[in-house]
């Protein structure tokens, strides 16, 4: 077991990539905190993990809300005694050309991806420093942390921003053995992607099949989607890494769509 007794807070983990990471972390011995918008959904995921033999709790947390973040992290510490790992994963997608994008939607995207990453980092880092055992902070970036795509301006801007945040947290956290890294997946079939396939088809006036083959997977080496399992495997590797040697980095898991 690579994460035995490590306490891992995973935001947006009632669905998709975050849920898979939570399940795989629990199998590796971690005590996982399912932090998501709706308490019932978070608790349901935690119950599924417990039924499979893992340790988990569910907490309600809108990552853009300072008080909810601080309370969720305090509840996690009360339940499990500290924080060792944060996966800042909660996210949404909004499809729109820049010229049609409302300021509200721009702000909403930056709030969930960047304010959320900051607030959860601050709360967890404080606990990691207090605990004195170091920690691992992992941001869910994207190939869009390095590349741009039409119709995704605020998403691409926010995902690039996470790389900058990780570099600063890596430098500030080093003295306390707190590492910060970014995972940058290619397209993964989750509700977030399934929703945007018809939206992109409409905006681009092409079929849904063409959105998949000619937009999403066009630049991969093999025309394949990245999977939730691929991302979870990378998240285990990063969290289990034992020294400060691997910090301030972004790892791209995208079937070669983007090569750094
Ligand atoms: P998903 O829609 O399956 O899951 C996202 C989760 O985040 C949901 O459970 C949702 O309730 C939660 N969430 C949304 N807003 C929140 C908020 N304000 N506070 C707390 N939780 C909130 O999507 P996913 O594909 O699993 O995406 C997870 C992360 O991975 C996102 O950051 C996304 O940008 C990133 N990502 C996804 C892909 C992909 O192709 N699916 C690729 C690269 C990166």
Residue 113 is assigned to a structural domain of this protein: yes
155 and 108 in a common domain: yes
Distance (angstroms) between ligand 1 centre and the Cα of 132 equals 30
Q: What is the pLDDT of residue 162?
A: 98
Distance (angstroms) between ligand 1 centre and the Cα of 92 equals 5
144 and 81 in a common domain: yes
pLDDT tens profile 165-197? 999 999 999 999 999 999 999 999 999 899 989
Residue of 145, 92, 114, 117 lying closest to 252 (CA atoms)? 145
Residue 2 is assigned to a structural domain of this protein: no
Q: Please pick, among 25, 80, 139, 155, the residue that the annotation labels catalytic.
A: 155
Residue 122 is assigned to a structural domain of this protein: yes
95 and 137 in a common domain: yes
203 and 88 in a common domain: no
Q: Contact at 8 Å (CB) between 112 and 91?
A: yes
133 and 201 in a common domain: no
Q: Is 155 a catalytic residue?
A: yes
197 and 140 in a common domain: no
Distance (angstroms) between ligand 1 centre and the Cα of 67 equals 21
Q: Contact at 8 Å (CB) between 240 and 7?
A: no
Give the residue, out of 39, 190, 253, with the most ligand 1 atoms within 8 A of its beta carbon, to mutate for a pocket test: 190
Q: Can you name the residues that pair with 185 across neighbouring β-strands?
A: 253
pTM: 0.97
Distance (angstroms) between ligand 1 centre and the Cα of 12 equals 6
**What are the φ/ψ torsions at residue 139 (nearest 5 degrees)?**
-100, 140
Distance (angstroms) between ligand 1 centre and the Cα of 64 equals 14
Q: What is the CATH number of the domain that holds 73?
A: 3.40.50.720
177 and 61 in a common domain: yes
Q: Whose CA is nearest to atom 32 of ligand 1?
A: 91
Residue in the block written with tokens 């990471």: 21
Residue 231 is assigned to a structural domain of this protein: yes
CA angle 141, 238, 27 (to 5 degrees): 105
Closest ligand 1 atom to 111 CA? 18
Residue in the block written with tokens 């729109």: 96
214 and 101 in a common domain: no
195 and 88 in a common domain: no
Strands in 135-140's sheet, in edge-to-edge order, are 55-60, 31-36, 7-11, 85-88, 135-140, 178-185, 250-253
Q: What is the pLDDT of residue 260?
A: 86
CA distance 120 to 47: 23
pLDDT tens track of the chain, all 260 residues?
A: 999 999 999 999 999 999 999 999 999 999 999 999 999 999 999 999 999 999 999 999 999 999 999 999 999 999 999 999 999 999 999 999 999 999 999 999 999 999 999 999 999 999 999 999 999 999 999 999 999 999 999 999 999 999 999 999 999 999 999 999 999 999 999 998 999 899 989 988 999 999 999 999 999 999 999 999 999 999 999 999 999 999 999 999 999 999 98
Q: Give the pair of three-digit tokens for residue 165.
A: 């945040």
Give the residue, out of 11, 16, 142, 234, with the most ligand 1 atoms within 8 A of its beta carbon, to mutate for a pocket test: 16
Euclidean distance between the first and the last CA atom of the chain, given in angstroms as a whole number: 31
Residue 70 is assigned to a structural domain of this protein: yes
Residue 158 is assigned to a structural domain of this protein: yes
Q: Whose CA is nearest to atom 3 of ligand 1?
A: 16
Q: Which domain holds residue 75?
A: 7-186+226-253
Q: Contact at 8 Å (CB) between 7 and 80?
A: yes
Q: What is the pLDDT of residue 20?
A: 98
Residue in the block written with tokens 């510490």: 77
Q: Whose CA is nearest to atom 41 of ligand 1?
A: 188
Q: Whose CA is nearest to atom 16 of ligand 1?
A: 90
174 and 96 in a common domain: yes
248 and 167 in a common domain: yes
137 and 205 in a common domain: no
Pocket of ligand 1 (CB under 6 A): 11-12, 14-18, 36-37, 61-64, 89-92, 112, 140, 142, 185, 187-188, 190-193
Domain count, the chain: 2
């Amino acid at each position: 077991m690579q994460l035995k007794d490590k306490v891992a807070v995973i935001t947006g983990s009632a669905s998709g990539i975050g849920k898979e990471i939570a399940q795989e972390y629990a199998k590796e011995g971690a005590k996982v905190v399912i932090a998501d918008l709706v308490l019932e959904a978070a608790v349901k995921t935690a119950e599924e993990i417990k039924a499979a033999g893992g340790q988990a709790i569910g907490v309600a947390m809108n990552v853009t809300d300072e008080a909810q973040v601080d309370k969720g992290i305090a509840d996690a510490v009360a339940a499990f005694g500290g924080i060792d790992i944060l996966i800042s994963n909660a996210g949404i997608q909004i499809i729109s050309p820049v010229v049609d994008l409302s300021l509200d939607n721009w702000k909403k995207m930056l709030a969930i991806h960047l304010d959320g990453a900051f607030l959860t980092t601050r709360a967890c880092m404080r606990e990691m420093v207090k605990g004195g055992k170091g920690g691992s902070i992992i941001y869910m970036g994207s190939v869009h942390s390095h590349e741009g795509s039409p119709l995704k301006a605020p998403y691409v801007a926010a995902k690039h921003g996470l790389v900058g945040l990780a570099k600063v947290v890596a430098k500030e956290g080093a003295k306390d053995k707190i590492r910060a890294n970014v995972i940058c997946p290619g397209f993964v079939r989750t509700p977030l992607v399934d929703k945007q396939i018809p939206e992109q088809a409409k905006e681009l006036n092409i079929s849904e099949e063409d959105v998949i083959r000619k937009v999403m997977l066009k630049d991969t080496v093999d025309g394949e989607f990245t999977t939730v399992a691929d991302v979870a495997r990378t998240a285990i590797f990063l969290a289990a890494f034992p020294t400060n040697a691997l910090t301030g980095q972004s790892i791209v898991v995208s079937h070669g769509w983007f090569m750094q």
